[in-house]
Each structure stands twice: as structure tokens, then as C-alpha cells.
Chain A
Amino acid sequence: MRKIAIGLVIALLATVPWIIGGRYAFHVATMITIMIPLALSINLTLKLGQLSLAQPAFMGIGAYTGALLTMHLGFPPVISILAGAAFAAAIALATGPIFLRIKGVYFVLLTYAFGQIINLIFQHWTSLLGGNNGLFGIPKFSIAGLNLGTIPGGYYALGLVVALTSYLALRLFETSDAGTICDSLNEDEMLCRSIGADAHAWRVAAFTLSAFIAGAAGGVYAFYIGFISPDTFGFQASVDLIVMNVIGGPTSALGPVLGAIIVVPLLELLRDARQYQLLVYGISLIFFVIYFKQGLVSVIERPRKLSNAGHA
């Protein structure tokens, strides 16, 4: 009953931009749908008891790959976005088995260094990626001869599809055996492994999924904005995603969704007043970390458990 009510409220919320109309409402709504998968992807790594700062790098890999495939090889945008996401996932699959051996604060620092390297490559590979000036002239997204730019809320609809798919994927993961195994791994890894769960394989799978989701969101971002540059995929983006998870609540997949819905409009509103944006961020982070660890989602849903309460 409660679940149906929440679903209905979200469905209603999703139609709001079409009711308000206007380019600005659609822009904010589209950005929300792009940030939701990203916030979810970082949430998925939190489920493993790990905080990954590499998610913006995966987003960037998806964005650059997707844009380049359509610009240079003429791939249809849908294929490009999926290929970009797959490429990000492939990199996660290749690095995951090594990275995930490392735990706790070292994992955070490791993914941070990895993110910096990827970002420096974006900045330095001027001939292909445009360097610090960014990549211009990404064509508009079109599917079956239909240009999304010409339909009101076309990109928003695309974003909704991606956001909803990632949410469902995460929910599926949470409720499946894999999610249960990951949870029990956090509780007691020794015991869990002693009954035969291949801890490492599940972690790598989750990490790969998180990169795929981030890469797909990056692809949508590239086609929506039409321009990408390295600083979009830097440390600041990680901070944004962490804020969304902390405010919304990291214990349930609904948390980061709520977080994105609250934080993104604030981000867009304060785009030209960075000092106030940072101040609001900082104060709300302190408030939530000290007084409201389970985030806003705990008001709606009973949190299952505190999986990321430290002690890494």
C-alpha cells in the first residue's frame, strides 16, 4: 500500500515539468534525471561498504565515448550511449578485481587517484577529446528520424527512461540474491564466505553495474548539453553526488533519488553564486552527518540497516 502510494507520488512528480512547461523547468527536470542514475551508481558502491570517487570518471568515459562514436563514426545516438556505458563498464570490470581488494579509506583514495588520472587524460588528449576547451558540436539526439530537441521535454523523457531503468536495476540488485550477499558481506565477511559466497565476484559485478549506469547518464548528458569538458567530471561532481546520498539517505535506493530531486534545483538556482552553493552544501552535510544519518528517506521508508556507518 505504502509502496504504491510512493510510486504514485513519484509518477505525479514526474509529470510536473509538462504541466509547468517552459524551457527552464524542462532543463532542471532533465538535469535531475541525469543526476539520479549517477547518485544511484555511487549508492551502489556504498552498498558494498565502499565509497567510490571514480563515478564521475565513468560518467565522463560514457560521455566522451558516446559523443565521439556519433561525431566521427556516425553511430545512431542510442547505440553510442549504450556503447559508451558498455565501455565504462568494461573499464570497471578490468580494474574492479584489483581495486576491490582494497578496503575502506584506501579504496576512497584509490578511486580518487583513478578519477584524477582519467580527468587528466581528458584534459591532455587535445587532438581527440578537445582538452580543457572541451568537445563541441555533439549532434542532437535523434531516434527513428525524430529529433528530441524539437519535442517539448524530449530530453526529459529520455532522462526519465534512463533514471527509471537504473532505479529498477538497483532495486532488482538490492532484492536479489546478489544484494543479500553484498549485505551479508558487510555484516560478516568471514562467515559469509565460509558458506561459499564468492564475495569478490559479486563486488566486481556491482562495481561494473555502477560504472554502466554512470556511463549511460554521461552519454545522455553529452547529447543533451551538446558540449562536454573535463571539469564536469572532476572531484566537484563527486561532492555533488555524495551530498545527494547524504541528504536523501544512503540506506535505500529511494534516498539518492530524493537527494537528486532536492539538490539539483538548488544547484541550478545557485549556478552563478558558487559561494552560497558551497555554504548550503557544507551546512546541510554537517547537519545530516550529525543529526540525521539516515537521511530524508527514513521519514518515508524504514531504513533496512546502516550499511555504511563506517568501521571500514
Chain B
Amino acid sequence: MVLQIIVNGTLSGLTYVVMALGFTLIFGIMRIVNFAHGEFYMLGAMFVVFLFGQTGIAFFIAVPIAGVLTGVFGVLCERLLFRRLVGQELPGMIMALAVSIILQSLALLIYGPAEQTIPRPFSGTWNLFGAVVPWDRTLVAIGAIAILAAFYLFLRFSRLGLAMRAVAFDPETSGLMGVESGIIYATAFGIASLLAGLAGALMAPVYTITPSMGGVPMLTAFVVVILGGLGSIPGAALGGMLLGLCESALATTLDSTIALIVSFMVVLAVILVRPSGLMGRSA
């Protein structure tokens, strides 16, 4: 029982982390609360519907292509719309809202409000010391771990990753040191969209695909990021795993609406008591 809760929590926690990382990255670097993050997730899933479901490209190839396409789309959005609003929180938020509802309406125009289904590339379950683990969720978890590892290596060891951390830490000084902020913004937005797109693409066979599917992952990313601290990357990782485990524990003991109310209460309390989150630096 306890093991099952931990397994379920880890499986969902890993996808929360992937979503939350992109969200927190954009805020940390551009000071923009990207309300469109859930729609980039939806975009990734829709690309998989097209590539895998309709065109018939193998699932393993369709997922990375879907992620890259979403990432490229993110870079375009950054260059054309968000770049001019860097650092302006309110207009940035409104712009993100605009992108989010435009993407939803385009998905509605193309696919309609009905649920899209694609064949499941995997089914069945396996046993881990008595806990039941579905194969498709396992695949998502493996994908998420691979993504997180690549993301960590990039930030930690590449020159561009170093520059990104520098801009997040102190944009003015890093600018004086010759870091080209435009490239950093585009990279950050591209990576964040890539992560959201990959998460959506991986989850496409597991969850229902609709134009409004981005709402729930957006909400969880938001909760995770508040818990961990807006802009903090370790915070997003910690918050994501915590939320996954708590949800899995609460879902077995409490009604789901009450669980949701409780999680928002926690968010409220965290913002009030410690706005910078569990691991954020004070703004």
C-alpha cells in the first residue's frame, strides 16, 4: 500500500517536474509568468496525434519531433511577442494569456472540442515488490528522467547553460560581462517549450487529448513552482516530487475536490508566509 502510493507519486511527480522546470526557467530569466505553458504541452500532444496517430510515424520518433516542433514554435513566440515585454510582469502575463487562448482556439478550429485518441504503443503492467506499475506510465517516467538528466547536464556544463544561470542570477552584471541577453531569452523560451512539448507528447497515449487539456498541467506546474519558489530550478524539482507524492497519498485517503482545496490552501499559505518558496531566493 505505502509502496504503491510512493510508486504512483513518483510516476506523476516526474512529469510535474518536467512541466514545472520550463515554467520556472522562463520566469527566472525573463520575469514572465507564462500562462501559455499548458498550451505548449497541448501542442506537443497534438503534434503526436498528427505524426503518430494520423501519419503513422513510429511513436519513439514522433515524440522528439513533436518536442522540437513545440520548441521552435516557442522560440518564434519569444522573438515576435515576448522579447519586447521582458521584465514587465503585468503586460508579459497578459501577452501569455493571449498566446494561450489563441492556441486553444486554433486547436478547437482544427480538431474540434472532441477527444482525440491515438493507439497505445504500450499496455499491461509489471510488478515492483508487489506494487502494480503500468508499462505506459513507466515509459513516461523513463522519458522524463532522460529529459531531466539532459537538462541538468546542459545547465551545469555547457557554456550557454552557464550564461543562462548567470542571467537568471543577475541580468545586469552578466550583460556587462558580454552575455548576449537576446540569445539567452530565445534559448530559455525554446527549452521551456521543448520540455512542455515533450511532456505533452509523452503523455498523449496516457491521458485524453483535447484543446483544453493544458489547464490541469498548467495548474500543477503553477502549484509546484510556488511551492519550490518562482524561478528556482532545484525548487521545481523538489516541489514536483513533493506534490506528486502528496497527491498520491491524499487521493487514496481523501475526496479529490477536497485534495485540490487543500493544495490551494497550501499554496496560499506558502505565498503569504514565504513568497520566495521553499528554495527560492528572496525577490
Interface residues of A (CB under 8 A from B): 51, 98-99, 101-102, 104-106, 108-110, 112-114, 116-117, 120-121, 123-124, 239, 242, 246, 274-279, 281-283, 285-286, 289-290, 293, 308-312
Contact = CB atoms under 8 A, between A and B. Distances in A.
Contacts of A308: 90
Contact of A289 (B91, B100, B258): B91
B119 interface: no
Contact of A120 (B81, B226, B257): B257
A51 B88 CA distance: 13
19 contacts: A51-B90, A105-B27, A105-B93, A106-B271, A106-B275, A108-B93, A109-B226, A113-B226, A117-B268, A279-B102, A279-B105, A282-B101, A282-B102, A286-B95, A309-B91, A310-B85, A310-B89, A310-B91, A310-B92
Contact of B88 (A275, A282, A309): A309
Contacts of A274: 105, 108
Given A117-B261, A120-B260, A285 B88 contact: no
Contacts of A110: 268, 271-272
Nearest to B258: A124
Nearest to A132: B257
A285 B94 contact: yes
B268 A105 contact: no
A108 B89 CA distance: 10
Interface of B: 27, 31, 33, 81, 84-85, 87-95, 97-102, 104-106, 108-109, 222, 226, 230, 257-258, 260-261, 264-265, 267-268, 271-272, 275, 283
Contacts of B93: 51, 105, 108
A275 B109 contact: yes
Contacts of B106: 279
Contact of A286 (B27, B81, B105, B258): B81
A274 B260 CA distance: 27
Given A113-B271, A120-B260, A275-B109, A242 B94 contact: yes
A113 B268 contact: yes
A120 B261 contact: yes
A285 B257 CA distance: 33
A285 B105 contact: no
Nearest to B268: A113
With a 10 A CB-CB cut-off, give which of B89, B100, B106 has the most chain A CB atoms: B89
Contacts of A281: 98, 101
A286 B99 CA distance: 8
Closest 9 CB pairs of A and B: A310-B88, A282-B102, A278-B105, A275-B108, A285-B98, A279-B105, A278-B101, A282-B101, A282-B98
